[in-house]
Structure 1
């Protein structure tokens, strides 16, 4: 068993737990989307192919850190999901390997662009718009106006009422950091982050923790991808999604085959399967409201329409590079994280 793995974190129903070396017909997967979708995807792959899956769910930054730590002795075959910036960084460090799937031509242009940006070492599998969700009951009770633009988050009435993740561990939070830098310029972005720091109650480890807290009324606002907000609303919680009116970034969730994987042929089999319309159409059944990459899969009706959202021209190559990512994370640690 790889060091540091928590058995309780592994799926228990219909999946094979990490217990000693993987069997000859077992795919080992690190998964960086919500737990329900991770489990549903692993179970569907087993149902369709007969191949067992050992799956561990990890936030994007944590998955990248583990893959990097295991580079001399990889323990997993494939990394499925999570913000594309981290997948591009993994590609630049040769932690993942190129693969030309016969199903690439089934994908949206933005997914193929991700694939080409990373020299075929990662591929887009879904997209999601960055924004936040707010608890409508809390805002009504407090008589507050909801934030509609990034600049609104500076409102002193929101003191201690915003949660966002730490960009070192969360792909959501790193996308937010990179978005603000591209909107305002680096220095002004960090000044903005300092101005809203008093309004941040906690920098969580998980990118979905803030919106879960907002859904439960534990905080007023959670910065998140809008599909995570919609998931909470669909479950009956009093949250409403906001795409910032002054412009916002987005993610291209990605998939990568880990370099020198224990079973590269199983990794390729999963990769091909995961790009199909049949596989991607199961996302909504698992409560996943991301926009799928396969052109034959219609977006969920609840998902934000990309054409109606003010999106920035997000530079995935630059902000996924090891140099830029490391620089921004160090500056965040020095100027924001260390001040807590």
Structure 2
């Protein structure tokens, strides 16, 4: 049998290192398709001349392109037989990705826990993306619920990794050369800078997008994510194709331009949860809360810690009285990003 059925829960062990196929060279095509799929308008990723005025050699690819490409590389080995991707932590963007860069990925299994049903288990991995110079461009932890091949297979020893609650502001990496000293707010499309945001402030991003079957599958194919639940309607008992959580992240990030137009570069993800499944026909809306602010090594660059929430419908409630996420909440993402001071 020459086909790949993917790994099941009992195939993993803590400490296992997996080098993922296939390296991918990314370029302007990925940027064009990304901006076609999402209403992405941040100036640093749209204009070479704007990026050069901020000290970069050219416009980098959107940070989430790097995330999606590296994530997609991991899917055949980590989540091909997944029920759902559950969350993220300790994600850091370490250097920009530019058109022409070639990305590859590697994952290390750092935790395992069989679920009480005995049918599935949770796998924690730390995934890392490298460019053609073997420089790490991104690193993140994610955990995913994976089916068992044999429900009678013995459960592995439970290992739940201890993860940092947040990436320290002092550990955020400002890309070499980046400076917002000559930042043009007119060209960027927003006048609000670091000092205009207050901790505790909540920003409604106003716009909504109704998600379609064709677009989410196109996006998921773009990142070479082969997880069955996103394409095969028979892979879930309800007969519905589950929308890739990264599609929700990118859509919410793009919607956040309205209110956070100068939040140009993602720096880290402190934690994230796909609170409820998302399907075609859902109308996604987003809001953000300012959780913290920090200075960086460059006096022109500030960092905002933001909570980005995506939900379907217009309910403002995040959690119910029982402490669980409201059924309309799709994404709860805690991240750091760079903004001009």
Query: Structure 2 length normalisation: TM-score?
Result: 0.25
Larger relative helix fraction? 1
Larger relative strand fraction? 2
Higher relative contact order (CA 8 A, sep 6+): 1
